[in-house]
Amino acid sequence: MTDTTSQKATKHAEVRYAVPPTSIRKIEADGVQVFYRAAGNPSAPVVLLLHGFPASSFMFRELIPRLADRYRVIAPDLPGFGFTEVPAQRNYKYSFDALALTLEAFTEALKITSYALYVFDYGAPTGFRLAMAHPEES
């Protein structure tokens, strides 16, 4: 193998096995500072990952980079979990209906108009409420 061929093979392997970066962010939605992890091309189809109890978006740390080469992956921490902050004066009612309303505001704040849902445990009744309210988006 020549040096040029070896360099091309190495570069190809590096590109093929590159791990897409995951960013961590916060955005205000429904009076809540929603923490979320995001990865992938902003113009790619969106996959919204909703975690279970008693976890957070951290549970998707291995899945996010595996999807991010084909999708825009967004994994929020639900209110009451992880790094999402709910101000005490907000008097937040922790119910699946309230979580779904917050997620609806979250998707609107991010200007997401269409997405696929990946739900687990606590994320399921929340995500299903979101899907029922907006079947054209999910």
pTM, 2 dp: 0.85
Whether 121 and 51 have beta carbons less than 8 Å apart is answered as yes
Mean pLDDT of 58-64: 96
Backbone angles phi, psi at 122, to 5 degrees: -60, -30
Coil/strand/helix, residue 95: coil
List pLDDT tens digits, range 20-35: 899 999 999 999 999 9
The listed CATH number (3.40.50.1820, 1.10.10.10, 3.30.460.80, 2.60.260.20) that belongs to domain 20-133: 3.40.50.1820
